Structure 1
Amino acid sequence: MDSALLTVGLPIPLAVIMFGLGLSLTPDDFRRVRQSPKAVGIALVCQLLVLPLVAFGLVKLFDLAPLLAVGFMILAASPGGTTANLYSHLFRGDVALNITLTAINSVIAIVTLPLVSGWAIDHFVDRSSKIGLQFDKLLQVFAIVLIPVLIGMFVRRRSPEFANRMDRPVRTASAVMLLLVVVGAMYTEKENISTYLAEVGLIAAVFCLISLSVGYVVPRRLGLTEDQAVACGFEIGIHNSTLAIAMALTVIGNAQMSVPSAVYGVLMFPIAAVFGMVVRNRGVLKNADQPRSVGQRTP
């Protein structure tokens, strides 16, 4: 495993991505839960309970190799990615709800991501393999997640205009760095990448479609507005692949487990774009011009 990827290639992109999230956050984004508890609750249930169950079912259905299966469970347990805010903006979702969900999910993931990862290792991997969570590395990863978010929030509080000016450059840098992380993760397994793509590509695409659909259909069926359902769809379908890759490479120390997240990180953007266009073109956003239910903030 390339040490440069672990020491520089993962921490810096992850820190930049989370700093970008912090630049878009204010304490009101957390307090906004009280304004729309139903929307937040439904989205969290889909994200934290439904997605891991879906991933587990797909892993069993596709009969994935044990290490790839663990990688998929790590992906399913990872929080929503900050790019969900952009997609929600493009397809007229409730961006404020996205921001709130991303913030809350990122905090909750401190507990749920290690729990799901540890359970997946126990379930899929032979105990004699000595593969497991390295808790000192886990603390390092979550420090890289939380500290940049807090710094970003501090910057926004002190200088909102600067935070707004930096939003687009940081978002662009985050996308570029995510691509580099994905390429780096695949490079660590370059000798087996064609085999892994054949094994993981289809299930990753299916999981992405199911995630987006669950995120949209379930909230809509339970009475949320169109813009809220669109926001939930992108929040649940677009994962923080960088964090999932960091979990596999840094905390567990297994490159093969990072492959599902790397493949998903490539596929989720075009699939999410097509999903957004289909939803919009079918006219399900007929109420999009009505006032947003959670807030009017844009990313």
Structure 2
Amino acid sequence: MGSTIFAVFLPIALALVMFGLGLTLTVGDFARVLRYPRAAVIALVCQMVLLPAVCFGLVLLFRLEGALAVGMLLLAASPGGPSANLFSHLAGGNVALNITLTAINSVLAVFTMPVVVALAFSRFLDDSESIGLRPDKFAQVFAIVLIPVAIGMWVHARYTAWSDRMRGNVKILSIVVLALVVTAAVAKNFDTLTENIGKLASICLLFAVISLTVGYFAPRLFRVDADQAIASAMEIGIHNGAIAIAVAASVLHSDAMAVPGAVYGVLMNIPAAIAAYLLARYVRQDRREPVPVAG
């Protein structure tokens, strides 16, 4: 009975979260990438290519096996989380770029997530029945991730005044729902969690720190402005654990694969908050620096 309730409630909960995301998006948010082409391309390459590779290395380093290894890579393939915008705002980042990256990442993840998970299945489970690019699994990921976003965008465009009034309430409700999803996933898989808590806590914290670091310094190496690099750091460093949990439980039908997403959903707030504090201090100090006057 508990499994049935979890399986039914989880997609509904994630749909609410993604609907709330859709209420914040417009078609212009996708087009805005043309205003920040360098920052967007660097962030997307890091998100889609570099971080899954980093996560794979960490999984091997910590000797994570089976469903937990697949769940960790599923998390790495997930797009940025809803709280990325909040942390970016606190750190002085370019929130408009965050919104753009979230929009594009959410679309691309529908195509990249099945590929990453298929490779993870073949490496860690040797299972021919992986998600791969099977049409039914692809359709489920599409329905979980994109359809609620599209509905939210339509509502925002059609009923803009109502959307503007409700956006704050939906965001608060989404945060509560996310917390409930993570709590439910932890409670449902408590034995698996306690048996692997050391490895999972270590790998999730280290992955979050590396993601935030890469997200900031990779754009800066290519002379991207600091506020855009901060937006990139938060978008890359804060993965959507709710999507990872929902895909694991509802699409892949594996409760164990949901555990890494649940652990990350709790622990990632620590390095994200520290990074936001340090970056905000850096931005304030940088703005106070006197501009050299040519003699």
- Same fold by TM-score, threshold 0.5 exceeded? yes
Aligned to 1:99: 99
Aligned to 1:182: 182
Aligned to 1:3: 4
Superposition deviation, residue 66 in structure 1: 2.2
Aligned to 2:15: 15
> Structure 2: how far apart are the matches of 1:185 and 1:281?
35
Aligned to 1:29: 29
Aligned to 1:148: 148
Q: For residues 62-113 of structure 1, what are the alpha-carbon distances to aligned partners after superposition, in whole Å with 9 as ceiling and x for unaligned?
A: 1112221111110100011121111111221111100000000000011100
Contact 2:67 2:256 in 1 (8 A): yes
Aligned to 1:68: 68
> Structure 1: how far apart are the matches of 2:284 and 2:58?
28
Query: Which residue identity does 2:7 align to in structure 1?
Result: L
Aligned to 2:38: 38
Contact 1:204 1:260 in 2 (8 A): yes
Contact 2:110 2:145 in 1 (8 A): no
Aligned to 1:84: 84
Q: For residues 99-156 of structure 1, what are the alpha-carbon distances to aligned partners after superposition, in whole Å with 9 as ceiling and x for unaligned?
A: 00000000001110001001100011134xx652275354234213222211211121
Aligned to 2:254: 254
Report which stretch shifted further, 199-208 or 159-168: 159-168
Q: Secondary structure at the match of 2:279?
A: helix
Contact 2:11 2:250 in 1 (8 A): no
> What is the root-mean-square deviation of aligned Cα atoms in Å?
1.8
Superposition deviation, residue 185 in structure 1: 1.2
Contact 1:138 1:251 in 2 (8 A): no
Q: Which runs of 4+ in 1 moved over 4 A?
A: none
- Structure 1's unaligned 5+ residue stretches are 289-299
Query: Which residue identity does 1:102 align to in structure 2?
Result: T
Query: Which residue identity does 1:162 align to in structure 2?
Result: W
Contact 2:90 2:280 in 1 (8 A): no
Report which stretch shifted further, 165-174 or 102-111: 165-174
Identity across the alignment (%): 48
Aligned to 2:113: 113
Distance 1:3 1:285, change over 3 A: farther
Report which stretch shifted further, 36-45 or 133-142: 133-142
1:131-280 paired onto structure 2 within 5 Å: 132-133=130-131, 136-280=136-280
Q: Secondary structure at the match of 1:207?
A: helix
Query: Which residue identity does 1:31 align to in structure 2?
Result: A
Distance 1:151 1:225, change over 3 A: same
Q: For residues 130-184 of structure 1, what are the alpha-carbon distances to aligned partners after superposition, in whole Å with 9 as ceiling and x for unaligned?
A: 6522753542342132222112111211233322222221111111111111111
Q: Secondary structure at the match of 1:2?
A: helix
Query: Which residue identity does 1:199 align to in structure 2?
Result: K
Aligned to 1:51: 51
> Structure 1: how far apart are the matches of 2:74 and 2:287?
36
Query: Which residue identity does 1:47 align to in structure 2?
Result: Q
- Structure 2's unaligned 5+ residue stretches are 289-295
Query: Which residue identity does 1:151 align to in structure 2?
Result: I
Please report the TM-score for the alignment, with normalisation by the length of structure 2: 0.91
Superposition deviation, residue 283 in structure 1: 4.5
